[in-house]
């Protein structure tokens, strides 16, 4: 566990550098922008008549919800936030649930697969994670 803590502290100290802070800020904004575009395109696919600003509002609602209430993989929390966010625009709960499930798959599965690929690339195994946690 101490190696995880040390790694986290090293990452935070890197943010003291304006170059690193700028890069992290840019990548965060880019991530939010891409999520907004994905949501807007899904609005179009679902036939929702909401503008891009509604997509970005949903990005904010979902981000706040999964920051405040953390569940494994954000399952449930993400979906509820999405349903509540879409209800602000009068979207039916059944459609909102379908939308939230598809959005979850579209946004989280690539992240999990990327994490898995980097885990394999770095040679990290479940056993090594268990050992470092003890």
Residue 45 lies in a domain: yes
Q: What is the pLDDT of residue 6?
A: 75
How many Å apart are CA 24 and CA 7, to the nearest integer? 17
Residue 8 lies in a domain: no
Residue 49 lies in a domain: yes
> For the segment 117-132, what is each residue's pLDDT rounded down to a tens digit?
988 888 888 787 777 7
Residue 12 lies in a domain: no
What tokens were used for 127?
Answer: 């056993």
Q: What is the pLDDT of residue 57?
A: 96
pLDDT at 1 exceeding the cut of 60: no
Residue 97 lies in a domain: yes
Q: Which residue has the tokens 């040679």?
A: 123
Contact between residue 6 and residue 24 where contact means Cβ atoms under 8 Å apart: no
Residue 18 lies in a domain: no
Residue 113 lies in a domain: yes
pTM over 0.85: no
* Spatial CA neighbour of 95 closest among 41, 133, 46: 46
Residue 14 lies in a domain: no
- Rounded to an integer, the average pLDDT of 98-125 is 90
- Number of compact structural domains in the chain: 1
Range of the domain at 38: 30-133
């Amino acid at each position: 566990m101490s190696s995880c803590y040390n790694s986290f502290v090293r990452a935070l100290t890197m943010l003291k550098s304006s170059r690193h802070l700028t890069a992290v800020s840019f990548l965060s904004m880019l991530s939010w922008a891409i999520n907004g575009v994905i949501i807007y395109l899904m609005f179009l696919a679902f036939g929702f008549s909401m503008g891009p600003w509604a997509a970005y509002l949903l990005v904010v609602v979902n981000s706040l919800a999964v920051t405040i209430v953390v569940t494994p993989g954000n399952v449930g929390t993400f979906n509820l936030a999405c349903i509540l966010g879409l209800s602000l625009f009068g979207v039916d709960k059944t459609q909102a649930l379908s939308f939230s499930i598809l959005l979850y798959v579209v946004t989280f599965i690539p992240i999990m697969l990327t994490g898995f690929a980097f885990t394999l690339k770095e040679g990290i195994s479940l056993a090594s994670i268990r050992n470092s946690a003890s």
